[in-house]
Amino acid sequence: MFVRFVSLVLVLLPLFSKAQLVLDSLRVLYPEQFIEQQIDEGVANNQFDQVADGYKALSTIYFEQNKKEDALKALTKSIQYYGILDDSLNYHQGNLILTDFYLNSKLYKEALELNLKALRFFKNKEDRKAQLSISKKLAEIYRLQKNVPKEYEFLKNSLQLNNSIKDTLMEIQLQIQKANWMKDHQNYEAALDAIYLAANHSKVIGQDSFLCEIYFQLGVISQLYGENQVAKKYMNRADSLYQLHSNAYINYSSYKEISDAFMELNQPKKAYAYLNTYLHQKDSLDNQNQLDAINQLIVQYQQEQQKAAIKNLQEQKVDVQVKSKLQSNIITSILVGVIAILIGLYLIIRFYQQQISAKETITIQKEEINRQRIVDLENNLKIETMQSMLAGQEAERERVAKDLHDSLGGLLSTIKLQFESVATKMTNLNKVKEYNKANIMLDEACQEVRNISNNMQPGALLKLGLVPALKDLMNRFQGDHYPDIDFQHYGLEEYRLDNTTALMLFRIIQELLNNSIKYAKADEIFVQLTRNENEIIVTVEDDGIGYDPDTAKKGMGTENINSRVNYLKGELNVHSIIDKGTSTMINIPL
């Protein structure tokens, strides 16, 4: 209906003196429809540059309208067409925008690859502004991945690039980013230097939008130094600016830190307001329906990219085969045709037979490729499902552990301090039996919360490595009501596993120990961890009651072990004899 209306207007426009004004008004009122019409015309006329530019313009409009799914669809279409046109500049610029979708979906590896490729391209182009923007983004991605050396490397590189570009707004953002890095690593003096530098730049150019973040950071760092009065001054000044300026810049992750600082400064009303803002933005970022839809579009886009690459290779292979056979047959036909017409006719017949055979061969190959493609897609889906499940489990463990440690642990510690304060004021209270019993039970509750938190999110694993974390785990199972645990390890003293592999191995051994302690009724448990050149061998044995692996019902713990072993592409072997015990051996390739 709209197209007919536009066509009618275009026919009648020459009849009116203000035709161009009417057309421009329609373009302003209905930009999406005009762009879609241009795209259709470009497709019909094979003008792919018009199609690519149209999809790029559509994605910009949808971004402004906060239609993220539509924006992502249009963006991926524009990237595909720029790839067909071999327009590397627009192709990489589109991929850099796509990076934000990857980061929102926590696809850090994919976002990293796109930015590194774009960085190489713009280095060859000697475009220092683009290099600066990408380098800053890479530092943020490595921060999300908790890759501290890489984060600081690209942050430092960004600052060096900006020394020659002299972009003051970028310098402010980089200094704030540097201050956060230094603060995280307890280098508060360097953090203060960076935030003061950001403040000076902001005042020079009159950029008040960054002063909120700057004053808040000064308040937090002053509080870490123990200067609460100075911290309170900066925090209240930042809060006043935040209330006055609607465009005040505050990093999303800073709201939680600001809330904690106000709470420490005994300003609960402001603490609640910033915590509420943090939770509201977190809910907005974690909108599961929108994330699922965007993730589905991203997966679909990646699959289309893979299909296009496979199809291109297939077509090239078929073209080479057909050209080779055609050349051979034509040369043979010419040579034989000179000798005799009859032989030529024979060869022509043979040529058509070969053509039919070639088509049959190509058909068989295509069927085999399609079958293999289906198998690959099924395997990829299984891997993605397994990765999502394990990532979800660890994320939930981390959340619960933090809640226990930060909320319940803090509350119990506060109660403990109150108990001690009351005991100090009432000296005879220590002689009261009920008070002493309650005090002991409170100590046990604090220890139990710490144990549960450590089991769910082992801090020693990230700080010290796998072997110390396992030793810490086994030290918790000491006492008369626990079996004797013998832990041996070889080849891991100076070898640091990556965080994912270490965490998976820790969870596997933790689950096997829990099974032996809870169900096997064992007196002794033997745990051995050995690293060879190309694999890690995990052995867990007990002298418990054993079971029949073929008939025993598999619980959630056993399924978790199988999932983690499969995720690590390992091999699991279980040998158990009733009343003799159970032996489990796991081989994990490196």
Percentage of the chain exceeding pLDDT 70: 71
- At residue 17, the pLDDT reads 40
Q: 3-state SS of 114-134?
A: HHHHHHHHHHHCCCHHHHHHH
Burial group, residue 37, by CB count within 10 angstroms (0-12, 13-18, 19+):
middle
pLDDT at 353 over 70: yes
Angstrom distance (rounded) from CA 136 to CA 159: 9
At 485, is the secondary structure helix, strand, or coil? strand
Give all domains of the chain, ordered by start, each with its CATH number. Answer: 168-286 (1.25.40.10), 289-415 (no CATH), 461-589 (3.30.565.10)
Q: Averaging pLDDT over each range in 206-215, 453-462, 501-510, which range is the top one? A: 501-510
- At residue 23, the pLDDT reads 38
pLDDT at 537 over 90: yes
Percentage of the chain exceeding pLDDT 90: 7
Q: What is the mean pLDDT of the chain?
A: 76
- At residue 280, the pLDDT reads 65
Angstrom distance (rounded) from CA 285 to CA 144: 15
> Is the model more confident about 289 or about 404?
404
At 526, is the secondary structure helix, strand, or coil? strand
> Is the model more confident about 444 or about 507?
507
- At residue 230, the pLDDT reads 79
pLDDT at 317 over 60: no
Q: Averaging pLDDT over each range in 44-48, 204-208, 262-266, 394-398, which range is the top one? A: 44-48
Q: Averaging pLDDT over each range in 127-141, 356-370, 455-469, which range is the top one? A: 127-141
pLDDT at 304 over 70: no
- At residue 11, the pLDDT reads 43
- At residue 295, the pLDDT reads 52
Contact 221, 195 (CB under 8 A): yes
Mean pLDDT of 541-546: 91
- At residue 24, the pLDDT reads 47
Contact 471, 510 (CB under 8 A): no
pLDDT in tens, 245-298: 655 656 656 677 777 777 777 777 776 667 666 666 655 544 544 444 445 555
pLDDT at 63 over 80: no
Angstrom distance (rounded) from CA 354 to CA 23: 60
Residue 96's closest CA among 62, 65, 121? Answer: 121
- At residue 540, the pLDDT reads 94
pLDDT band at 318 (very low <50, low <70, confident <90, very high): very low
- At residue 526, the pLDDT reads 94
- At residue 396, the pLDDT reads 65
- At residue 20, the pLDDT reads 43
At 533, is the secondary structure helix, strand, or coil? coil
Angstrom distance (rounded) from CA 138 to CA 116: 8
- At residue 314, the pLDDT reads 43
- At residue 268, the pLDDT reads 78
Angstrom distance (rounded) from CA 217 to CA 226: 14
- At residue 491, the pLDDT reads 85
pLDDT in tens, 129-164: 888 889 888 888 888 888 888 888 998 898 898 888
The whole-model pTM stands at: 0.43
pLDDT band at 311 (very low <50, low <70, confident <90, very high): very low
- At residue 335, the pLDDT reads 79
Mean pLDDT of 493-513: 85
CA dist 566 to 16, 392, 509, 534, 557, Å?
73, 16, 15, 17, 14
Residue 425's closest CA among 433, 417, 414? Answer: 417
Q: How many residues does the structure list for the chain?
A: 590
pLDDT in tens, 180-197: 888 888 888 888 888 888
- At residue 3, the pLDDT reads 40
Angstrom distance (rounded) from CA 13 to CA 15: 5
pLDDT at 460 over 70: no
- At residue 571, the pLDDT reads 92
Mean pLDDT of 468-487: 86
pLDDT in tens, 85-99: 888 888 888 888 888
**Helical spans, DSSP H, in 46-185:** 48-64, 68-84, 88-104, 108-124, 128-144, 148-165, 168-184
Question: In the sheet where 571-577 sits, what is the strand order?
Answer: 484-490, 524-531, 535-542, 581-589, 571-577
Mean pLDDT of 445-468: 70
Mean pLDDT of 578-584: 91
The CA-CA-CA angle for residues 226, 231, 250, to 5°, reads: 125
pLDDT at 209 over 90: no
> Is the model more confident about 24 or about 233?
233
Q: Averaging pLDDT over each range in 168-177, 223-232, 367-376, 456-465, which range is the top one? A: 168-177
- At residue 124, the pLDDT reads 92
pLDDT at 331 over 70: yes
